[in-house]
Amino acid sequence: MILTRPTESSLGCHRNSMERVEGGWIYDGSATDRLWHKSAIGRPIPDGGLVLAACELIFCRDHRHVEFPSDTWLMGIMMEDGRTILEGAIMEALRVPGNKIVLKGNLEGMGLEHSEDSWGLRWSSDMHPRNDSPVAEVRWFTDTASFDAKRDLYQWTKEVEERGRIAEAVVIDEELSVVTYHLSIANPAGILEPPSEDGFMKISCRDYVETHTGGAFFTDSDGWPSEAIGVPIHGGRQLDWVERELVHVLGQPSIDFHIDSFSTGLTDPELGMTRTASLLKELWYRGLNTRPGFKFGTTWRCYTGPIGEDHAPWLINDPDDREKVVNDWGRACLTSRLASGVNKHWICPIDVGTGDWRFLEISRPPADSRWSNPSKR
């Protein structure tokens, strides 16, 4: 859409001759050329000037010596849209390090494809939209906002990565403090031989006793068929309830096993097992060595090979465990930060079909890409 200057004063003629149009306010002051050609701020219009969105005006007022259209402008725009001051803080956090941010509403006519869910596109400090392709697509969320990892974040991340861009989530709290996270499609894999059908059969035929938490303790672990199944202890092998369920479902157990009092979810009739067991099976079949993730606040920590050879690079939660499920940004930030602090990757399992799993990582970016407020408020 090509914008021209409105002729009706009803659109709002303010101080500095700023006029309101669709998408923002027209600015044609002395800094017009510099704002676009140096910083890619606003949207150029054919007859001169820039259209500045509300959050861009806030940034320009604080960092480019551009005054608001009127003394009451901020109050008025906040009454229209309470998100404006949040977007102003986010714009500041992204732009002060030198990034160029072009809002979705300003992309029309630039020939750049983007997700409809993205807030804007980002270029690094040494790039410009007139010459370069964007490096990231950006969305922002409040720290209290819930999310749907499967239907929203995973699909958005997949769409962004297919364009060769980084999926960036900016999270802001009530103090207007901003933190940045990268979203990426993860593919955790290890080198262990996955448990075989024959292995499950052999384990299920062994004698065991039920543990206090619904698991199973096998006193005889000689010739144990899989390193991934169970924890070696006292010369035997102890399985938790999920591992016991898989042995029960995939083997031929001699003892009935009713998991209702132990499991985090109901048995899925199509799977023939709980979703938790289906996920654990997926992890084993990826060659991973799973161990309880209790000390990291997750369901599992996952090794690429035998225990002791290396640290566990991945932390994964059971999506049906209400005490561990992560579906809001406050908890996601905490979990991701804790994982990063112990040099691990926290990944969300995504159930995309009957027994078919994908994984989404929410991670702290490298130190040179952690966009945050430039000054303490």
Domain-wise residue ranges, the chain: 195-261
d(CA 235, CA 359): 35
Tens place of pLDDT per residue across the chain (377 aa): 444 443 333 333 334 568 999 999 999 988 999 999 999 999 999 888 999 999 999 999 999 999 999 999 999 999 999 999 999 999 999 999 999 999 998 888 788 999 999 999 999 999 999 999 999 999 999 999 999 999 899 999 999 999 999 999 999 999 999 999 999 999 999 999 999 999 999 999 899 999 998 899 999 899 999 999 999 999 999 999 999 999 989 987 666 666 665 677 778 888 888 999 999 999 999 999 999 999 999 999 999 999 888 899 999 999 999 888 899 999 999 999 999 999 999 999 999 888 899 999 999 988 777 877 776 55
Task: Give the pLDDT score at 18.
Answer: 87
Beta-carbon count within 10 A of 117 CB? 14
d(CA 127, CA 185): 26
Beta bridge partners of 67: none
Helix (H, G, I), strand (E, B) or coil at 174: coil
Buried b (16+ CB within 10 A) or exposed e, 55-66: bbbbbbbeebeb
Q: What is the pLDDT of residue 110?
A: 84
Q: Is 377 exposed, middle or buried (0-12, 13-18, 19+ CB in 10 A)?
A: exposed
The strand order across the sheet containing 24-27 reads 19-21, 24-27, 50-52, 43-44
What is the C-alpha to C-alpha distance for residues 154 and 159, in angstroms, rounded to an integer?
Answer: 9
CA distance 267 to 245: 10
Region of 28 (left: φ > 0; alpha: ψ -120 to 50; beta: rest) is: alpha
Residues 6+ apart with CB under 8 A from 74: 58, 68, 84, 85
In angstroms, the CA 124 to CA 8 distance is 39
Helix (H, G, I), strand (E, B) or coil at 202: helix
For the chain, the helix, strand and coil percentages under 3-state DSSP, each to the nearest 5:
30, 25, 50
Q: What is the CA radius of gyration of the chain?
A: 27
> Where does residue 192 fall: left (phi above 0), alpha (psi -120 to 50 degrees), or beta otherwise?
beta
Determine the pLDDT at residue 126. Answer: 93
Question: How many residues does this entry show for the chain?
Answer: 377
Looking at residue 137, what DSSP letter applies?
A: E
Residue type, 13: C
- pLDDT of 362 reads 96
Q: Which residue has 């009739």 as its token pair? A: 269
Helix 275-285 vs helix 241-250: angle between axes, to the nearest 10 degrees? 80
Distances (CA, A) of 272 to 9, 250, 266, 284: 68, 10, 10, 17
pLDDT of amino acid 354: 81
Q: What is the pLDDT of residue 10?
A: 31
- Residue 282's pLDDT is 97
